[in-house]
Amino acid sequence: MQPPKGRTLVNFETNFYTERGEFTRTVRLLGRRVELRIWPASFGWRFGDGQSQRSTSPGAAYPDLEITHRYLQEGRVSPSVDTTYAAQFRVGGGPWRDVAGTVTIAGSPQSLRVVEARPVLVGG
């Protein structure tokens, strides 16, 4: 989340992103080499205030604001992101084949405090 350190402002575009990316694995199954290619196909963003959003984007760090949310009131929230993975496999160096279906892994909620800024005039 950005801004960092678990705090954001009311009516401020809070930025969200994840760094979960594609990965590969090679296993032996019944004496055969099986390669797996697994990638995030979609993301379910839960902002902790009852609002949510789905995307195919993992978001991005500032200044590339792709996934943002504006909190409308003060309080503590626990946003999280669920990642849905798709995959392909191949056996013995053969052609890649799609794995039927997807798997969604629930993300761990993060603690976020939404505060209201109070304007203060200061002398120069």
Q: Which pLDDT score is estimated for 118?
A: 80
| Contact by Cβ (8 Å): 68, 12 | no
Domains along the chain with CATH numbers: 7-115 (2.60.40)
Render pLDDT for 73-118 as a digit per residue (tens, 0 to 9): 999 999 999 999 999 999 999 999 999 999 999 999 999 999 998 8
DSSP state string for the chain: -BSSTTEEETTSEEEEB-----EEEEEEETTEEEEEEEEEEEEEEE-SSS-EEEES--B--TT---EEEE--S-EEE--EEEEEEEEEEEETT---EEPSS-EEEPPPP--EEEE---------
- Average pLDDT of the chain is 94
Using CA atoms, how far apart are residues 90 and 64, in angstroms rounded to an integer?
A: 36
Render pLDDT for 9-68 as a digit per residue (tens, 0 to 9): 999 999 999 987 899 999 999 999 999 999 999 999 999 999 999 999 999 999 999 999
pTM: 0.85
Question: CA 20 → CA 12, 17, 44, 52, distances in Å?
Answer: 25, 9, 13, 19
Angle at 76 between CA 72 and CA 82, to 5 degrees: 90
Q: Is the pLDDT of residue 122 over 90?
A: no
At residue 124 the predicted structure's pLDDT band, cuts being 50, 70 and 90, is low
